[in-house]
Amino acid sequence: MRRLTQINHLDAQPSDIEFSVVGKSHKHESADKQVSGKALFVDDYPTPSNCLHAAVIVSNIAKGKIESTDFTQVESSSGVIKLITVDDIPGLNDIGPIFKGDPLLSDGTIKYHQQPIALVLARSHRQAWQAASKAKLTYQSETPNLSFEQAQQQPHLLPKNQFGASVDLDSLIESAVVVKGELEVGGQEHFYLEGQISLAQTTEDGGIFIRCSSQHPTEVQTLVAEVLDISFNKVTVDMRRMGGGFGGKESQAAQWACLASLGAHLTKGSVKLRLPRKIDMSATGKRHPFFNSYHIGANKHGVIEKAHIEVNGLCGHSADLSGAIVDRAMFHSDNAYSLGDASIVGNRLRTDTVSHTAFRGFGGPQGMITIERAIQDLSIKTGQDAYSLRLKNLYREGRSTTPYGMEVDQCDMLLEVMQNLEKSSDYTNRRAEIKQWNNSNLVLKKGLALSPVKFGIAFTATHLNQAGALVHVYTDGSVQVSHGGTEMGQGLHTKVAQIVAQTFGIPLDLVHVSSTRTDKVPNTSPTAASSGTDLNGMAAHNAAIAIKNRLLEFAKEHYNLDAEPIIVNGRFETKDQPVDWTHLVQQAYLKRISLSSSGFYKTPKIWFDIDKSVGRPFFYFSIGASCSEVTVDTLTGEMQVDRVDILHDVGNSLNPAIDIGQIEGAFIQGMGWVTNEELVWNKDGVLLSNSPMNYKIPSIGDYPKQMNITLMDKANPEHSIYRSKAVGEPPFMHAISLWCAIYDAVASISQHREIPNLQVPATGENILQACLAQFDAIGYTRDEAEVDNETIG
Ligand code: MTE
Ligand code: HPA
Ligand code: MOS
């Protein structure tokens, strides 16, 4: 019997829950405002009177010392009010989020190209940046370490760590099939549409009120307070929405917020700091480039028995979040496969660039693509189709423990997702057709790959898995919700509003989620690790439950009912007549029942023993599979995505439209990472790919010719909010099947006899080189190729 649950849904079985508001494709709360230009971003708010505009003077070298500074022309430049250097900072000149080592302004040492050295305040944005360009600086320059090889020779940023007992590499060589290789994995620019921005105002108490585009308002609050040497309670951060964050505003929104606040504090006024795109692209961290190696031993059937994997993240000049990012790369070096005896080693290398940071997947993609590449190699070594090898190696009953000791409880679902997708994508027939195509076409080669994704949900730093919310019911029946999560386009506020409406049993339009504010919900975690809804949705649910229980108890007595009433769509039945929600709320108010509550949630079950490197770092895994087909032009290296099929598990979907949007967006963003998005630094440590002119994200023409996204409709066996699953990051990694399909197309040149030298990203140049190497290996020169006229497009 399906019924509307009355009390905490956690007490109910998933099948007991009848969804009237959650589970429906409600429109994103900001959709109309965003398409009509009415949604306010930080730059859209009216500035306070006399607001100043800030610009940063940045370093022209990547490594060394400042020898001399001459700011006279800056200070005399039109509109300039004040120049601020490191000596003007009242408090701490360090904004490292976990480990220290991130100066707000250079103290004379230069650690990366475009490092902020001083702050200019002027009457207008343009005047500030014009003035900043007039600084005259001389440096004692040193040669920056940029490459993996150079970085390996330097002391690491953080200690190395390992999961699993060391595998005996000598015995590994005795395996029936050995696969050994290295994979270079490129980084990625976040390319949020709204760049880094903050508007800071001093308050009458010498505090600061900041609007800023940040995934982590609490961290902005605490770092601003430390920089200004004031107490945390004097700083309030207000965050309505970001025009995208993607991890780039988890720790790295703070610098610009602190600089704007410093300017406001020192002038006792208001300061806005907005980075021009080129400065944003070169002065903020990116996805970490990785240099990984894999050494795998399988039996003659292709079942992996032993593995040793090493992941090396290039972190830039400071630790930032690199400890946890390399951890997550290690946690995902198995992807969905049991590796038998496995050791996984992680290194965090220092390079003289900006400090790399969180980016959708948080190291997971870089770990996962390495094992997927190893499987592709194994397919070449064994002559078996990569899909059948993947099936054989999936976690399964009896082989369900990860290298870090966590059980994969839903290994059945891994197999189910793979097999369902195999059928719905018609994999087997298409594989045969592609084989035939490749046998009869010299120039255009097709590739196909079907691969799984298993992504761990929870912050790996256990203490971050907590959230708070504040819910008020007003006497007109409307509800206001504040919670610790931030809206960056992912639909968090829409989902939280649905959750609260569902919990109360009222229509969605009665619920409003306000901007995220540190004075409403304190001590929050970043909105990251895809856990925004899991954490804040549950905290808001708990707050709503507390109010609802008071209301139900009151209603039972007030209306003389035998049992607590069931509120559906804002009404409930009494013996005489139906009563509506607003009336109930008003009666309760008159009887002095509190209509407000905070709510709190902490994720259960998770733990991790850092010394032993074992535990259950994740509450559950999000699971999915994707199948990609590509055509590669072996004469030019051009590539086209012919078809993508994705089957993805979001538990009970809270909002299918938003979930499918997240899956689609994540895949396309992942497609950019594995294909065209290439970061290029020159030997001086200058980022050459510093603008949309020289850094190419996917455009509409790159969209797959065919794209099918299906949600796996199965309740989360764990007690997550309404049995849903997190969706933000996991589908990013479906793009790995696209990379594998390119690998497959290139390898078809040698009839899958030679391992292609394909790196990540597989840019046109990289694909072409890999094709040429294949032609070389089979003793076929390009001149001999009978060029048919068929080309892509
Ligand atoms: N979707 C949009 N539209 N914009 C974003 O910036 N960030 C992604 C993902 N989806 C992002 C997005 C990242 S990196 C994360 S961790 C999650 O959203 C964070 O939000 P959630 O935890 O509420 O899913
Ligand atoms: N994921 C994303 N962001 C984080 C994490 C994580 O595991 N830990 C700290 N910040
Ligand atoms: Mo997402 S990289 O966890 O902000």
Minimum-distance ligand 3 atom for the alpha carbon of 526 = 4
131-134 contacts at long range (C-beta below 8 A, 24 or more positions apart)? 131/55, 131/74, 131/75, 131/77, 131/78, 131/79, 131/80, 132/55, 132/56, 132/57, 132/58, 132/74, 134/73, 134/74, 134/77
Are the CB atoms for 430 and 629 separated by under 8 Å? yes
Average pLDDT over residues 134-145: 98
- Measured from the Cα of 362, ligand 1's closest atom is 14
- How many whole angstroms separate alpha carbon 570 and alpha carbon 582? 8
Distance 740 CA to ligand 2 centre (A): 27
Cβ(358) – ligand 3 distance below 6 Å:
yes
Q: How many angstroms is it from 64 CA to the middle of ligand 3?
A: 32
Question: pLDDT at position 785, please?
Answer: 55
> Is residue 6 scored above 70 in pLDDT?
no
Place of tokens 């993805």: 648
Based on the residue annotation, tell me whether 729 is a catalytic residue of this protein. Answer: yes
Question: Are 377 and 747 contacting, i.e. CB atoms less than 8 angstroms apart?
Answer: no
What digits encode the pLDDT tens for the residues 303-318?
999 999 999 999 999 9
φ, ψ (nearest 5 deg) of residue 141? -95, 140
> Mean pLDDT, to the nearest integer, of 735-746?
99
CA 394 to chain centre: 25
Ligand 2 contacts CB of residue 360 (under 6 A): no
Instruction: Name 469's bridge partners.
Output: 483, 599
What is the mean pLDDT of the segment spanning 139-164? 97
Q: What is the mean pLDDT of the chain?
A: 95
Adjacent-strand bridge partners of 513: 481
Residue nearest to atom 5 of ligand 2 (CA): 459
pLDDT at 1 over 50: no
Sheet hosting strand 109-110, strand order edge to edge: 109-110, 64-70, 136-141
Give yes or no for residue 532 CB within 6 A of ligand 1: yes
CB 214 within 8 A of CB 253: yes
* pLDDT score at 576: 87
pLDDT higher than threshold 50 for residue 789: no
Residue pair 530/729 in contact by the 8 Å Cβ criterion = yes
596 — pLDDT class (breaks 50, 70, 90): very high
Distance CA 282, CA 316 (A): 12
pTM here? 0.96
The best mutation among 246, 325, 357 to test binding of ligand 1, ranked by most ligand atoms within 8 Å of the C-beta, falls on 246
User: What is the atom index within ligand 2 of the atom nearest the CA of 251?
Assistant: 10
In the predicted structure, residue 388 carries a pLDDT above the cut 80: yes
CA of 732 to the centre of ligand 3 (A): 11
Predicted confidence band at 451 (pLDDT cuts at 50, 70, 90)?
Answer: very high
pLDDT tens digits for range 63-115: 999 999 999 999 999 999 999 999 999 999 999 999 999 999 999 999 999 99
Task: Give me the pLDDT at residue 782, please.
Answer: 60
Nearest bound ligand to the CA of residue 606: 2
Closest ligand 3 atom to Cα of 527? 4
Give the residue among 257, 199, 271 at the shortest CA–CA distance from 50: 271
| pLDDT range class, residue 793, cuts 50, 70, 90 | very low
Cβ(244) – ligand 1 distance below 6 Å? yes
- The CA distances from residue 275 to 43, 118, 301, 427, 471, in Å, are 11, 14, 55, 47, 35
Within a 10 A sphere around the Cβ of 515, how many other Cβ atoms? 17
**537: nearest Cα among 499, 486, 482, 487:** 499
Instruction: Spell out the SS3 assignment of 548-588.
Output: HHHHHHHHHHHCCCCCCCCCECCEECCCCCCEEHHHHHHHH
Q: What is the DSSP string of 184-221?
A: EE--B----SS--EEEEEE-TTS-EEEEE--S-HHHHH
Ligand sitting nearest the alpha carbon of 327: 2
pLDDT higher than threshold 70 for residue 149: yes
Whether pLDDT at 3 is above 90 = no
Predicted pLDDT of residue 783: 59
Return the best residue to mutate from 249, 250, 463, 465 for the ligand 2 pocket (most ligand atoms within 8 A of CB): 250
Ligand with an atom nearest the CA of residue 622: 1
Residue 455 backbone phi and psi in degrees, to 5: -125, 130
User: For 324-343, what is the mean pLDDT?
Assistant: 98
Strand partners, 52: 271
Q: What's the whole-number mean pLDDT along residues 163-179? A: 93
Find out whether the beta carbon of 529 lies less than 6 Å from any atom of ligand 2: yes
Per-residue pLDDT reduced to its tens digit, 644-653: 999 999 999 9
Catalytic residue among 729, 754, 784, 790: 729
Ligand closest to 325 (CA) is 2
Q: Kindly identify the ligand whose nearest atom is closest to the C-alpha of 732.
A: 1
- Ligand 2 pocket check for 359: Cβ under 6 Å: no
Q: Which atom of ligand 2 is nearest to the CA of 327?
A: 7
Please tell me the distance between residue 219's alpha carbon and the centre of ligand 1 in angstroms.
18
**229 pLDDT higher than 90:** yes
Tell me, in angstroms, the distance from the centre of ligand 2 to residue 768's CA: 36
Q: Does ligand 3 come within 6 angstroms of the Cβ of 525?
A: no
Please list the residues that pair with 342 across neighbouring strands. Answer: 307
Distance separating alpha carbons of residues 605 and 2, to the nearest angstrom: 28
Domains of the chain: 42-142+190-283 (3.90.1170.50), 290-460+612-792 (3.30.365.10), 466-602 (3.30.365.10)
- Specify whether the CB–CB gap between 296 and 178 falls below 8 A: yes
Q: Read off the pLDDT of residues 272-293 as tens digits, 9 standing for 90 and up.
A: 999 999 999 999 999 999 999 9
Q: What is the mean pLDDT of residues 546-559?
A: 97
- The reported pLDDT for the residue numbered 173 is 87
Predicted confidence at residue 320, as pLDDT, reads 98
Q: How confident is the model over 745-765, as pLDDT tens digits?
A: 999 999 999 999 999 999 999
pLDDT digits (tens, 9 = 90+) for 396-417: 999 999 999 999 999 999 999 9
Q: Do the Cβ atoms of 444 and 729 come closer than 8 Å? A: no
Mean pLDDT value of segment 327-331: 98
| Interval between CA 283 and ligand 1 midpoint (Å) | 22
- Nearest-atom number in ligand 3 for the CA of 248 is 4
pLDDT band at 2 (very low <50, low <70, confident <90, very high): very low
Nearest CA, atom 1, ligand 2 = 529
